[in-house]
Amino acid sequence: MEACIYKKFGKEGVLEWVGGWPKPVCKSDSVIVEVAASSINPKDALLRSGKFSRTLARDPLPRLTGLDVSGTVVEVGGNVARIKVGDAVFGMTNNFSGGVLSTFAELKETEVAKAPISISLVNAASIPLAAQTALQALRDICGVNQGKKVLITGASGGVGHFAIQIAKHLGAEVHGICSTDNIEFVSSLGAHCVYDYRKNKPAAIDNQYDVIFDAAGRYKREDFSPQLGKNGIFVTTVPSGKSLLSELMARLKISKKSRLVFVHSSHKDLSQLADWIDSSKLSPHIQKVYEKNEIVEAHTQIQSGHSRGKIIIGLMP
Ligand SMILES: NC(=O)c1ccc[n+]([C@@H]2O[C@H](COP(=O)([O-])OP(=O)(O)OC[C@H]3O[C@@H](n4cnc5c(N)ncnc54)[C@H](OP(=O)(O)O)[C@@H]3O)[C@@H](O)[C@H]2O)c1
């Protein structure tokens, strides 16, 4: 089969499509998906650059790229009960190194769900990693619900644009932070109030929040001390010595005020997101669907750090 691989770590130019890559073998708890599309996430670029090669991503080179996927199931393992051959599915691999951007991808049954039916299968690939991150940060870590006041940074990006809509749907009053060009876009997602980080530092925000979700991963809790007060929860997306230590303290029940989200793929969360999409409560914004041979351009775009919504690689002709 064809596969998008890298033989060494480095800049986006190390990515290449090759033929003759072995088709994955279906395990008893897995499904094989004929891939329609994959979305590109900042983590794809980090993995390709070798960022986690000595820690969490030790899969050998050459290595397949890609974490998000949508497509049609062509094979199911003997213990698979929820999914059948022919189902249109979307999902994210929990294999830290990734490996789904190829003609066929193997995922655990628990990592995929039936794709939403109100959007194209290609566009469904935009959802799994980014929207599950937003859902798990807001609902599971921060307990966002009716009446909470929430501020989201990176509100126009892959994670942030889902987070604005999800927080609103959970019943919160939602405010966002983005750059000047994205203010109208973030307002259109349902934010009550939008701040321009190019014009105002966090200290200038005259508001109090129960939760600040740093989807952009550009801030520290201390940047928002006045807005969070003693009891507000700050959750970031980016691991650092400090955020890892804070998350450890939270898991040890010492202090739950500063958190770090680690997205994991769950068929229940994916099904919830598909329901919200099909009932018009959530909508992915697709900046661009790149063609298969534009993988280098797609990685260049995600590395800019200024994508609006999501970018996708489409495999279907
Ligand atoms: N821990 C996890 O499980 C997990 C999961 C998903 C993502 N992440 C991480 O979360 C981060 C965001 O992911 P993403 O998919 O949303 O990325 P993305 O689509 O590239 O979006 C990045 C966002 O950051 C904003 N931004 C750029 N420069 C900024 C600055 N100086 N100050 C404030 N905001 C700024 C951009 O807004 P403008 O374009 O308006 O500038 C954009 O909205 C990445 O670091 C990613 O690796 C972690």
Closest CA to 138 of 100, 114, 96, 172: 172
Ligand 1 neighbour 156 (Cβ under 6 A): yes
Q: Regarding beta strands 68-76 and 3-6, do their DSSP bridges make them parallel or antiparallel, or are they unpaired?
A: unpaired
The pLDDT value given to residue 117: 98
Mean pLDDT of 96-106: 97
The pLDDT value given to residue 156: 98
What residues contact 276, with CB distance under 8 A and at least 6 apart? 166, 169, 282
User: Quick check: bond before 284 cis, omega within 30?
Assistant: no
Hey, whose CA ends up nearest to atom 12 of ligand 1? 216
The pLDDT value given to residue 316: 77
The pLDDT value given to residue 53: 85
Ligand 1 neighbour 313 (Cβ under 6 A): no
Cβ 235 vs Cβ 261: under 8 Å? yes
Atom of ligand 1 nearest to the CA of 182: 40
Question: The tokens of 165 are what?
Answer: 């809509």
Mean pLDDT of 61-80: 98
Vertex 17 angle, CA 12 and 19, to 5° = 160
pLDDT reading at 239 higher than 90: yes
pLDDT reading at 202 higher than 70: yes
Ligand 1 neighbour 182 (Cβ under 6 A): yes
Ligand 1 neighbour 262 (Cβ under 6 A): yes
Write down the mean pLDDT value for the chain. 96
pLDDT reading at 231 higher than 80: yes
Q: How confident is the model over 52-61, as pLDDT tens digits?
A: 888 888 888 9
Ligand 1 neighbour 202 (Cβ under 6 A): no
Domains and CATH numbers, the chain: 3-127+284-314 (3.90.180.10), 130-260 (3.40.50.720)
pLDDT reading at 110 higher than 90: yes
Atom of ligand 1 nearest to the CA of 302: 20
Mean pLDDT of 221-246: 95
Q: Which residue has the higher pLDDT, 58 or 111?
A: 111
Mean pLDDT of 97-115: 98
The pLDDT value given to residue 77: 98
pLDDT band at residue 317 under the 50/70/90 scheme? low
Ligand 1 neighbour 10 (Cβ under 6 A): no
Q: Which amino acid is at 25?
A: V
Question: The tokens of 157 are what?
Answer: 């990006």
Q: How confident is the model over 144-191, as pLDDT tens digits?
A: 999 999 999 999 999 999 999 999 999 999 999 999 999 999 999 999
Q: How confident is the model over 13-36, as pLDDT tens digits?
A: 999 999 999 999 999 999 999 999
If you measure from the C-alpha of residue 159 to the centroid of ligand 1, how many angstroms do you get, rounded to a whole number? 7
